[in-house]
């Protein structure tokens, strides 16, 4: 016989059941109340949620449209994944900057990681473990000792671009594409690209080409809906699919290993030009001659190489578009440059403080057409309460940078290209929102390459404006050809659609000075890719 009577046992059982029922009711009520406190958003369908509400590309346009109905915060659910869209500068800053400790993760990108071989790139990682060391390494490799070398590379490549455009102006789009690649290759590895068919450029092309193929493969679309499938090898979709993903995987692998191994050999032979790789190897060299953290060094240099070129290219093309449709601004910028270089030389980085109007143009390029319109998604680590709303842990946070740049209360008539928002030509205004704050992403995941990107675009702008009048091309019947100002959206980066224009050298003297400057900057790089233009 037990110590408790049957009545007592029954009473205890009843009490426990009651407590459990109360607890369950409370949980259900709380879940309901939390659900009721989710931010508003389009209703969606059972299971698939808002899957069909979003276009495959250019989702920022739909978010901006929804802002009219739902406001600054929009909550979506796509196939079970919660998504919070921050549709104003205030909400972006509050969630991604002020609450940055809780919003620094990334959603998993299993297709990129497992099938495309991109798992080594920090942009696919959660915000823990080695990512801190890697981001620190990138920042540290851009320091006061290395930046002057990188600036010389940027300057040389900008001059080289101007000379190539002089020689074959009709190829200006592909030349800009090439130049942003060669600049970052030089910064990352110290390698100067001279020939058209350089193997290093080939590596980037292989990666881009195979990645495009893999993204188009039906398996990718199916796995987007059912990410668990990425736990299996890609050949479950057949031989063709497996081949596409393998090509992607192999090209990513090559990009991590081949340039690094070549640069490392040059460092060992003490023949390496300054670069991120050289600097990081030297900093991590141990007394026994081995390199500490070598896997990190080769992966972050490869990531800089792959992450930097496309977006910089898009920004420079936006600059050309802006000049085409704003000839008065172009003239004004040239007048400022001419006043600073009146002694018959080209502008250099040391002129930057004297040329606030060029910085005004650069800021307006970042604002006018945001080339990373939704940056990269972040993810909440824990539940979040914001303005009375409940946002569950694991929610993917999408900043609508495009909308931030079009806030009429800050930037009246946002469609207009107007550097005067930021400068009177004598100084830069300090009381206006800084477009870099939305062009390069947010909080703890802000772009670690932004200083390089900013300087590359600045020196390119000032060089192009010094050498050329950029004008609309004319059709055979003599009419100016209007460029399409609407950007073409891909998943992450938006690009100007292919367009034509004329590059008219400003005078024979400008060309002479260009050629002389080209010979003067980094004179040790003697192999000349283009004969002196006349
Ligand atoms: C105009 C050129 C560039 C633009 C507009 C740009 C923009 C961005 C944006 C919007 C992000 C996402 C930030 C976020 O998650 O909130 C990002 C991330 C990143 N960018 Fe850039 N970027 C540029 C150039 C570069 C360059 C030159 C490098 C390398 C030297 C670079 C390396 C990276 C890396 C490694 C990340 C991932 C950071 C992380 O996930 O923690 N970017 N960039």
Spatial contact of 317 and 496, defined as CB atoms under 8 Å apart: yes
**Which of ligand 1's atoms lies nearest the C-alpha of 372?**
10
Eight-state DSSP code of residue 291: B
pLDDT score, position 2: 55
* Three-class secondary structure assignment of 129-172: CCHHHHHHHHHHCCCCCCHHHHHHHHHHHHHHHHHHHHHCHHHH
- Which pLDDT tens digit goes with each residue over 18-47? 888 877 777 766 666 667 799 999 999 998
Which residue CA neighbors atom 20 of ligand 1 most closely?
A: 447
447 is in an annotated binding site: yes
The chain-wide mean pLDDT, for the chain, equals 91
Q: What is the mean pLDDT of residues 399-420?
A: 97
Distance, in Å, from the CA atom of 529 to the CA atom of 195, rounded to the nearest integer, reads: 7
In this prediction, residue 30 carries a pLDDT of: 66
The pLDDT value recorded for residue 525 is 52
Evaluate if residue 529 carries a pLDDT over 50: no
What average pLDDT does the segment 469-483 reach?
96
Letter string b/e over residues 25-62, b meaning 16 or more CB atoms within 10 A of that residue's CB: eeeeeeeeeeeeebbebbeeeeeebbbebbeeebbbbb
Centre a 10 Å sphere on the Cβ of residue 75 and count the other Cβ atoms it contains: 20
Compute the distance from residue 446 Cα to the ligand 1 centre, in Å: 7
Q: How many angstroms does the Cα of residue 276 sit away from the middle of ligand 1?
A: 16
**pLDDT given at position 532:** 42
Query: pTM for the complete prediction?
Result: 0.91
Nearest to 521 by CA among 154, 147, 181, 275: 154
Residue nearest to atom 17 of ligand 1 (CA): 447
Ligand 1 atom having least distance to the Cα of 124 = 40
Half-sphere exposure of 64 (CA within 13 A, CB side): 15
Count of CB atoms within 10 A of residue 91's CB?
Answer: 24
Element (H, E) at 496: strand 494-496
Give, using CA atoms, the residue closest to atom 2 of ligand 1.
Answer: 312
pLDDT at residue 230 tops 60 = yes
pLDDT greater than 50 at residue 110: yes
Which among 177, 440, 445 is the best mutation to test ligand 1's pocket, defined by most ligand atoms within 8 Å of the CB? 440
Which atom of ligand 1 approaches the CA of 122 most closely?
A: 40
Which among 347, 302, 348 is positioned nearest to 184, based on CA atoms? 302
Reference 365, options 332, 323, 337, 307; nearest CA is 323
pLDDT at 98 exceeding the cut of 80: yes
């Amino acid at each position: 016989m037990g110590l408790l009577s049957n009545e007592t046992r029954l009473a205890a059982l009843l009490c426990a059941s009651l407590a459990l029922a109360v607890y369950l009711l409370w949980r259900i009520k709380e879940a309901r109340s939390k659900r009721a406190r989710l931010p508003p958003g389009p209703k969606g369908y059972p299971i698939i949620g808002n899957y069909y509400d979003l276009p495959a590309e250019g989702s920022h346009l739909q978010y901006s449209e929804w802002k009219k109905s739902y406001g600054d915060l929009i909550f979506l659910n796509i196939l079970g994944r919660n998504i919070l869209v921050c549709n104003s500068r205030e909400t972006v800053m509050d969630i991604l900057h002020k609450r940055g400790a809780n919003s620094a993760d990334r959603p998993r990108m299993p297709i990129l990681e497992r099938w495309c071989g991109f798992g080594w790139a920090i942009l696919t990682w959660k915000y823990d473990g080695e990512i801190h060391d890697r981001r620190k390494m990138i920042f540290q490799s851009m320091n006061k000792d290395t930046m002057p070398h990188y600036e010389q590379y940027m300057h040389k490549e900008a001059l080289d671009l101007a000379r190539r455009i002089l020689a074959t102006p009709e190829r200006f789009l592909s030349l800009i594409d090439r130049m942003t690649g060669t600049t970052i290759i030089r910064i990352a590895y110290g390698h100067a690209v001279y020939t058209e068919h350089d193997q290093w450029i080939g590596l980037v092309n292989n990666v881009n080409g195979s990645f495009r193929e893999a993204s188009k493969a039906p398996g990718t679309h199916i796995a987007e809906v059912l990410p668990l499938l990425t736990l299996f090898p890609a050949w479950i979709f057949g031989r063709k699919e497996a081949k596409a993903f393998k090509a992607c995987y192999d090209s990513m692998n090559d990009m991590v290993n081949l340039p690094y191994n070549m640069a490392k050999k040059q460092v060992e032979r003490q023949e390496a030009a300054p670069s991120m790789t050289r600097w990081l190897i030297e900093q991590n060299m141990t007394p026994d001659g081995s390199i500490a953290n070598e896997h990190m060094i080769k992966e972050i240099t490869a990531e800089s190489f792959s992450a930097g070129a496309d977006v910089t290219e898009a920004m420079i093309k936006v600059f050309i578009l802006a000049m085409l449709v704003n000839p008065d601004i172009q003239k004004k910028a040239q007048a400022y440059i001419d006043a600073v270089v009146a002694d018959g030389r080209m502008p250099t980085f040391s002129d930057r403080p004297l040329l606030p109007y060029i910085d005004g143009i650069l800021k307006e390029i970042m604002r006018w057409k945001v080339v990373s319109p939704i940056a990269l998604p972040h993810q909440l680590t824990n539940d979040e309460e914001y303005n009375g709303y409940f946002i569950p842990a694991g929610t993917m946070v999408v900043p609508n940078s495009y909308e931030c740049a079009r806030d009429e209360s800050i930037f009246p008539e946002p469609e207009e290209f107007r550097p005067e928002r930021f400068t009177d030509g004598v100084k830069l205004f300090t009381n206006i929102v800084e477009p870099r704050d939305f062009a390069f992403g947010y909080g703890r995941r802000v772009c670690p390459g932004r200083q390089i990107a900013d300087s590359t675009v600045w020196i390119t702008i000032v060089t192009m404006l010094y050498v050329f009048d950029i004008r609309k091309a004319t059709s055979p019947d003599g009419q100016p050809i209007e460029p399409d100002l609407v950007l073409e959206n891909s998943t992450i980066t938006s690009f100007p659609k292919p367009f034509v224009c004329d590059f008219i050298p400003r005078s024979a003297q400008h060309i002479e000075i260009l050629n002389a400057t080209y010979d003067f900057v980094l004179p040790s790089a003697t192999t000349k890719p283009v004969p002196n233009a006349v």
